[in-house]
Amino acid sequence: MYAVELESVSLRYDEVVALRDITFKSEAGKMVALIGPNGAGKTSILKMLAGLLRPSSGEVRVLGRDPARARGLITYTPQREDVYWEYPLTVRELVAMGNIRRRGLFKWLNTRDSRVDTALRLVMLEDLASRKISELSGGQQQRAFLARAICQSGEVYLLDEPIAGLDAPSESMLLEILKALRDQGKTIVMATHDISATLEIFDYVALIRNELVAFGPPKEVLTSENLVNTYGGSTVALHLDDLEKVAGWK
Amino acid sequence: MFELLAEPMGYEFMRVALLTSVIVAVTCSVLSSFVVLRGWSLLGDAVSHSVLPGIAIALALNIPYLVGALLAGVGSSALIGLVESRARIRNDTAIGVVMTGAFATGLILLSWMRPAMDVFHVLFGNPLGVSPSDMLLSAAIGSLVVFTVALLLKEIVAYTFDPIFSKVIGVPTTILHYTLMILLSLAIVSALNTVGIILVITLLVTPGATAQIVSRNIAQMLGMSILIGAVSAVTGLYLSYYLSISSGGAIAGVATLIFFGVLLVKSLSQWLKRDKD
Ligand SMILES: Nc1ncnc2c1ncn2[C@@H]1O[C@H](COP(=O)(O)OP(=O)(O)O)[C@@H](O)[C@H]1O
Ligand SMILES: [Mg+2]
């Protein structure tokens, strides 16, 4: 049984064909990176795996079942921009949202659950637990999100661009936590722009540009030919000195 | 001072008006925290304007106006979602189209039928004309709103903070969304007599907005919002009594003044703090 599985999946939004004939799968306990430019279809794949969208054709399975039937086993972390961070919540309350389904009606979030403390410790946010979420840095917000997913104790972690806009230390801290989760047997599927971050850490890379350009271990997949096919020639060929030329041109 | 406060209470209509206004303000304030946090200010305005044709149609069909108002309120929020996705236009555009269209329909129907109900009172409220049975209706609606929010508080918070996550984790988000729309429509109906269709949005936005400026968590925000709503209702009603001004206008006006007062104090304290550093 595979943890995540896409079989000849296509997805269209009315006239727009967002994804065409995507096939890839991964066993449990692996880290999978979805890499591609804006509009490539990364978010759409994550939403199908989360059971939020149905493929127009083909099949999506999570842990061998229809994603809608794997609800308790899937955690989904949306792009940071999709959330209103001025919401008056503390870090602890945000994390406790992960156990919301284990709590009855009329009851407030269970912030005293030991799962909340464990999750906070894993992402190294114990000291900031009673901070307002708007008072966190971008990296801390992303780790708080991850703690919420950990608190949910799912098996498959879906993360949409969690390292976008983070500085290098925050990025490597987040990736270290994800690695630790993988080592516990969790499956991580993460959308990202950052190719270099994936090279050493991820087990599989899916290069996507509305179709699957390539899928496999990063060392095999991240060839310059594949990258040109994913990002288009001009983007990759734009080297540092070109950038300087552009900057000096103003 | 005591006499100033006690004198209006010598009249039964003033006692009923005061109690009803406070109930309505509290009902709306409870919801206003979520309206503000989810970015539903414009949607709330649309729902309140759509209540007008609902009332008109109910009068025409001789069914209770509460039913018409409720169906129109919930229907308009569903229609907005449908227009937004079908026409592929922005949410605020869909709201603008549906809201004004519904309001125009209501005005046409009411002017055509010339019902006994005074359109001006529906639009701008008339708390001094509230009957004890209206008051009981407002109290029933208020209890229902408070009960439902207490029942589903953490689910409502999760949904209004992060709807996508909530859906994936198994919170019934569609049911929750329409539950909130029903509560919103009910709150608007209960406010018809006191502040009216046009100004009810003040009570659905401003107390929550004020509370958000000073709150660190959701419990504080709900509490502050309720307090601000109640204070606005009481102060506004007294002002309208002594100054002979529109009660709905006075209540909404006080709520707005409190907002700017709190904003000013907050800005000043931040400015002083920065000076010290
Ligand atoms: N709700 C939607 N309606 C119509 N088109 C959409 C919608 N969501 C995404 N798309 C289109 O589908 C394609 C893939 O989008 P997305 O999955 O968000 O890509 P990515 O996350 O890689 O940037 C894009 O061309 C985008 O314009
Ligand atoms: Mg995306």
A181 token code pair? 């989760």
User: Among B187, A122, A11, A69, which Cα is nearest to A114's?
Assistant: A122
Q: Residue A163's Cα: distance from chain center in Å?
A: 9
Ligand 1 neighbour A51 (Cβ under 6 A): no
Mutation pick from B36, B86, B169 vs chain A, by most beta carbons of A within 10 Å, is: B169
Residue A109 to residue B155: CA distance in whole angstroms? 9
pLDDT tens track for B5-36: 888 888 888 999 999 999 999 999 999 999 99
Residue B71 to residue B80: CA distance in whole angstroms? 14
Residue A239 has a pLDDT of 44
Residue A193 has a pLDDT of 82
Strand A74-77 and strand A156-160: the pairing is parallel
Mutation pick from B168, B174, B224 vs chain A, by most beta carbons of A within 10 Å, is: B168
Smallest CA–CA separation between B213 and chain A, in Å? 10
Contacts of A61 (CB under 8 A, 6+ apart): A2, A4, A5, A7, A67
Residue A245 has a pLDDT of 45
Q: Tell me the H-state helices in A50-167.
A: 91-96, 114-122, 138-151
* Mean pLDDT value across chain B: 91
Per-residue pLDDT tens listing for chain A (250 residues): 899 999 999 999 988 999 999 999 999 999 999 999 999 999 999 999 999 999 999 999 999 999 999 888 999 999 988 899 999 999 999 999 999 988 888 899 998 899 999 999 999 999 999 999 999 999 999 999 999 999 999 999 999 999 988 988 999 999 999 999 999 999 999 999 888 877 789 999 999 999 999 999 998 998 888 888 888 865 544 443 444 444 443 3
pTM recorded for the entire structure = 0.90
The pLDDT confidence band at residue B232, using thresholds 50, 70 and 90, is very high
pLDDT tens track for B168-206: 999 999 999 999 999 999 999 899 888 888 899 999 999
Residue span of the structural domain in which A11 resides: 4-246
Q: How many CA atoms lie within 13 A of B155 on its CB side?
A: 25
User: Among A126, A128, A119, A106, which Cα is nearest to A147's?
Assistant: A119
Residue B221 has a pLDDT of 96
CB–CB of B216 and A132 under 8 A? yes
Ligand 1 neighbour A15 (Cβ under 6 A): no
Q: Tell me the H-state helices in chain A.
A: 42-49, 91-96, 114-122, 138-151, 168-183, 195-201, 218-221, 224-231, 233-237, 240-248
B143 three-state secondary structure: helix
Pocket test for ligand 1, best of A44, A45, A208, A230 (most atoms within 8 A of CB): A44
Burial class (CB in 10 A: 0-12, 13-18, 19+), A206: buried
Ligand 1 neighbour A16 (Cβ under 6 A): yes
Q: Is the pLDDT of residue B227 over 70?
A: yes
Place of tokens 């661009």: A161
In terms of phi and psi (left: phi > 0; alpha: psi -120 to 50; beta: otherwise), the region of A186 is beta
Q: What is the CATH number of the domain that holds A197?
A: 3.40.50.300
Domains of chain B (ranges; CATH) run 2-276 (1.10.3470.10)
Number of domains comprising chain A: 1
Smallest CA–CA separation between B210 and chain A, in Å? 13
Nearest CA in chain B to A109: B154
